Structure 1
């Protein structure tokens, strides 16, 4: 039986990649996302669908997006 273990110290636990990208887009917009992470799926004709497709295939890019998301959460919560 493979039950999911609680991860109280992982702020990304239970958050989907789609939610991360949507929240980043709402906060930064595509232009600022492309500024912070230089990848074409944010810079050239960006859409949620194309970004998710690329990020699901590209581990290094997904890690950068997750890092930016954590930084955004810190900014929102006043931990700059």
Structure 2
């Protein structure tokens, strides 16, 4: 499974809401792994650090198109 994007409104940030959405989504999936791509610059690196705290590990980099930024590819077990 590839996770595209999780976003919450500013008033819901730092409340655990994004993590609860993430975990609820994975709880109903059967795939053994989930991957995502994150911009290393997002939130001055805070978004990457957040995903690391959720158990994701870096496995490489990707540039989806010539015009896009280089993104960090991350993976973790889905359960």
Higher relative CO (Cα under 8 Å, sequence separation at least 6) belongs to: 2
- Return the index of the structure with the highest Cα Rg: 1
TM-score, scaled relative to structure 1 = 0.26
Structure with the larger strand share: 2
Structure with the larger helix share: 1
TM-score, scaled relative to structure 2 = 0.27
